[in-house]
Structure 1
């Protein structure tokens, strides 16, 4: 299988970012999948019943970062 990689980075208000995270969480909780569309193509990511969750926080002089990662 060819590598498919997608990265989304944009500036949102805190409430908008929370709403986006809620959309992703709700899709995983109810459908066991996450769908998105880019450049006219629809992608469906099927997520198994068990995943590895990593939460990382970094703080420094140039800012702060909260990274949430699911892997399987």
Structure 2
């Protein structure tokens, strides 16, 4: 069970979605602290040098879903 889960869903243009992903990618490349915008607030997350990445593409009738998931151990819980 999660001790914290924040979900934000919104409708974006393709260009807005690309900018959002580019901003997140630049933050990941720049350092271990990543600011994640969530609605009217921002969450700072520690990201280690190595993360697990999963990309999923699902086609279900007339809907296509793509998920990009990054996972890593919380600070103090590294392998």
**What's the TM-score, normalizing by structure 1?**
0.84
What stretches of structure 2 of length at least 5 have no aligned partner?
A: 73-79
The answer to whether the 8 Å contact 2:58/2:66 transfers is yes
- Cα displacement (A) at 1:40: 7.1
Q: Which runs of 4+ in 1 moved over 3 A?
A: 36-42
Give the root-mean-square deviation of aligned CA atoms: 2.1
What stretches of structure 1 of length at least 5 have no aligned partner?
A: none
Aligned residues: 71
Q: Could you tell me which residue of structure 2 aligns to residue 34 of structure 1?
A: 34
Aligned residue for 2:26, secondary structure, equals helix
The verdict on how the C-alpha distance between 1:40 and 1:65 changes in structure 2, with shifts beyond 3 A counting, is closer
Stretch of structure 1 that moved more, 54-63 or 41-50: 41-50
Measure the CA separation in 2 of the matches of 1:67 and 1:41. Answer: 23
